[in-house]
Structure 1
Amino acid sequence: MSDQPLAGRTVIDLTTALAGPYATLLLAGLGATVIKVENPAGGDVSRNNAPYLGEHGLSLARTGEADMSVSMLVRGRGKLSVTLNLKDPRGRAVFHDLVRDADVVVENYSPGVTRRLGIDYAAVREVNPRLVYTSISGFGAQGGPGSGKAMDSIIQALSGVMLTAGEPDEGPVRFGLPIGDLLAPLFAVIGTVSALLQAEHTGEGQHVDVSMLGALTSLMACEPFDAFDAVGLAQRTGATVPRLAPFGVLPTADGHIALCAPTDAFAAGVFRAMGRPDLAADDRFRTRDERVRRADELHELIRSWSRVRPTAEVVAAFTAEGVPAAEVRDPAAAVRDPLVREREEVVPLAHPRFGAVADLSATGVPIRFSGARASLERPAPELGEHNDHVYRELLGYSPERLAELAEESVI
């Protein structure tokens, strides 16, 4: 038996793009057998996302048949790929065979699509009442504004998050990380595992319904932005947070640092690091309320000190006084941090045929267990790579039936 937490569980993966595949990636990393069901005509849309990795490294366009999208190389790890045309009645029959002994289905179709295809929760429940059926959508399984389709930027816009970052007099700021796409699958995995635990006691599966908008807006509500607005505190403050002063991103001679010093003790440490311990007794900055009242003055005073010193010197001075501070790193440096590499929270990425032909990084499973293991050891599959294994070996289909289904583009 595997020492992974979800070993022995089977997940039928109907997802595409990012939100759904990230959820099933995590389930695979926790040990589930994830069978990715893809359309025979092209498969997951992320298979066609540039850049591509091939025998000779990275390129913006495919240079050979074996080239794979970096997106798929990241999101497809740990999964088996089968092809299946769910619009064909024979394809739906095959799908029912797949879910009959499965534990989980995960889908991120637009609302209404699974019902039209005859693969919605109501239909699947008749085949396997113990099954956990997880839906990830823009606005919930019942749909939402317009067509019900959603992209990350749409969710960021509707959630309010675009107006929490940036300067007060600037336009909305789109987060570079697709946070709407990446947050919903985290809640989907929590819901899926919780429903599996409940099914062990009740013998009944259920429908787990997670919306991208709801997930991101729920996090927005963790910070009381409406209360800030009601009492006159600015919701958008740019690089600094005046209500926690000194707090924010500050320039150095060769970059930037993040500083978090909202308490009296931390603020005193900032002043000592600057060689100005007297400021801790200064009536302008002695208490938290006074520091907040004069946040602009305080932040400018710290900037005038930090901007003429190297980043390493500034961080060292603050941390020596016990003040939380760090350099602002670019993504390439961040994903190569020895700490996150040692903990396998970020891992090297290789092509399944050609190996590590480029220096690339991919998400690991950022959970460490004392009595279990989480890992993504299987490389991303080629489209339909596991048709024979799944359909013939696991489902018991005859070679003749497989040949017929392939000839008629059902698989």
Structure 2
Amino acid sequence: MNAAQPRPLEGLTILDLTTALAGPYATLLLAGLGARVIKIENPSNPDTMRNNAPYLGRDGVTLQKRDAGDLSLSLLERGRNKLGVTLNLKSEEGRAMFVDLARHADAVVENYSAGTADRLGIGYATLAQVNPRLVYTSISGFGADELGGQNRAMDTIVQALSGLMLTSGLAGDAPVRVGVPIGDLSAPLYATIGTLAALLQAQRTGRGQHVDVSLLGALTSVVACEQSDVMERLGQSTRTGNTLTRLAPFGVFATADGHVAICSPTDKFVAALFGAMGAPELARDARFSSRDQRVKHADELHARVEAWTSRVPTAQVVDTLGALGVPCGAVRTPGEAVRDTRALRRGETTRLEHPVFGDTGDVVVTGLPIRMSGAFTGFDRPAPQLGEHNAAVYAELLGLSDDQLRELAARAVI
């Protein structure tokens, strides 16, 4: 990819009031697509992710911060391609400055608890009065309109409430938490889609709007894509471990030296699989000759598949089935997976460098898995230091002088 190409969202200005993961990931995507994202932090109480272990510094990766040069991987990853300013929104002057910034912005993204932005005087209703075309995106635990009772959420809580924890594992197992923060990562995808759609509408109509995405709603919507409760009513367990009964043979199977994923739901695939197993006659067996019968006899079918794979090395299973066109893949560690040469080449994952010390830790993080033929997408600037772009942003957008900025800093407004 050529960084000199135009960027899809070039010319758009987005004010970023987000913290932690769900919000910063949404604005990271927008920054990776070329928007000017201005990350706003309290000068005395900045984003908590700045203190998240592990850290990257001169000596590589550590679990404890040893000196000022050690920077949180969370910040280095989620802050890329963003501008960083400080602003105390709890002060009257700071709120007034933010309202002025909003006059020049195309969008605001925030992930406060529901109602917090309104209490601060920087909610959508207030900002829409000064900038009617503004798109205002809120990412919250349960929705911007859920102001009473439980309105704070973290990924594990949302995984629990969404039903996700009782879709993995086997019947009778304890709930299984998905190892990546899938709630905190799915909601920002919907928030980004909603923000872009609202920006397109604002370009046509001149009117912005409030985009409202909840972590619980996003993850529950994902869970609802797989009709687990319907399968349960039909006598199938909602928890089938490493296999998927309704598409049998479909799942993860032990090999002689690891595990392999095999997905053969169609007659063509399953015939090729049976041939590789040395049992082509199974394709004519009444129990396995149609999709419905394979679902009915899924446990027996999966046991037969694993009886074969367990005697064969993973690479051999993959090579054999791959040559026959059967979808399959080795089960890899996260470290192996993120270093896939295809993912690195395409920018879907990327090596993270310290802004001062360079590549000191062989750290691979998320890239931007969106490629375009006529535009640059991705990250080519490091995360900002706290308040690094105060002078540039406040001078350009608000016309403030160096003397004014020094005075504001002395009074802890910025």
Q: Please say if 1:62 is aligned against 2:65.
A: yes
1:304 paired residue among 304, 307, 332:
307
Aligned residue in 2 for 1:88:
91
Aligned residue in 1 for 2:47:
44
Q: State the 1:145 CA deviation.
A: 6.9
Aligned residue in 2 for 1:279:
282
The count of corresponding residues between Structure 1 and Structure 2 is 411
Per-residue CA deviation, residues 180-199 of structure 1 (Å, 9 max, x unaligned), is: 00001111111111111101
Instruction: Determine helix, strand or coil for the equivalent of 2:303.
Output: helix
Instruction: Determine helix, strand or coil for the equivalent of 1:36.
Output: strand
RMSD: 1.3
Q: 2:134 touches 2:208 (CA, 8 Å); kept in 1?
A: yes
Instruction: Determine helix, strand or coil for the equivalent of 1:216.
Output: helix
Aligned residue in 1 for 2:392:
389
Q: State the 1:243 CA deviation.
A: 2.1
1:251 paired residue among 247, 250, 254:
254
The TM-score normalised by the length of structure 1 is 0.98
Aligned residue in 2 for 1:124:
127
Per-residue CA deviation, residues 14-55 of structure 1 (Å, 9 max, x unaligned), is: 000000000000000110000000011141111110000111
The TM-score normalised by the length of structure 2 is 0.97
Aligned residue in 1 for 2:176:
173
Q: Please say if 1:199 is aligned against 2:186.
A: no
Distance 2:155 2:86 in 1: 27
Instruction: Determine helix, strand or coil for the equivalent of 1:28.
Output: helix
- Gaps in structure 2 of 5+ consecutive residues: none
Amino acid at match of 2:229: D
Q: Please say if 1:104 is aligned against 2:127.
A: no
Amino acid at match of 2:94: G
Amino acid at match of 2:228: F
Q: State the 1:247 CA deviation.
A: 0.9
Aligned residue in 2 for 1:150:
153
1:319 paired residue among 318, 322, 341:
322
Q: 2:352 touches 2:364 (CA, 8 Å); kept in 1?
A: yes
Q: State the 1:2 CA deviation.
A: 6.0
Instruction: Determine helix, strand or coil for the equivalent of 2:286.
Output: coil
Report the more deviating stretch, 219-228 or 75-84: 219-228
Per-residue CA deviation, residues 97-132 of structure 1 (Å, 9 max, x unaligned), is: 211111010000001111111000011111211110
Q: 2:276 touches 2:320 (CA, 8 Å); kept in 1?
A: yes
Amino acid at match of 1:261: S
Distance 2:63 2:148 in 1: 35
Q: 1:272 touches 1:321 (CA, 8 Å); kept in 2?
A: no
Q: State the 1:263 CA deviation.
A: 1.4
Amino acid at match of 1:174: R
Aligned residue in 2 for 1:9:
12
Q: 1:348 touches 1:362 (CA, 8 Å); kept in 2?
A: yes
Q: 1:35 touches 1:79 (CA, 8 Å); kept in 2?
A: yes
Q: What stretches of structure 1 move > 4 A for 4+ residues in a row?
A: none
Aligned residue in 1 for 2:34:
31
Instruction: Determine helix, strand or coil for the equivalent of 2:102.
Output: helix
Q: 1:228 touches 1:235 (CA, 8 Å); kept in 2?
A: yes
Q: 2:115 touches 2:147 (CA, 8 Å); kept in 1?
A: no
Amino acid at match of 1:239: N
Q: State the 1:144 CA deviation.
A: 6.1
Per-residue CA deviation, residues 258-295 of structure 1 (Å, 9 max, x unaligned), is: 01011111111111111111211222322222222222
Q: Please say if 1:365 is aligned against 2:406.
A: no
Aligned residue in 2 for 1:115:
118
Q: 1:104 touches 1:134 (CA, 8 Å); kept in 2?
A: yes
1:242 paired residue among 226, 239, 245:
245
Q: 1:17 touches 1:44 (CA, 8 Å); kept in 2?
A: yes
Amino acid at match of 1:128: N
Q: 2:187 touches 2:215 (CA, 8 Å); kept in 1?
A: yes
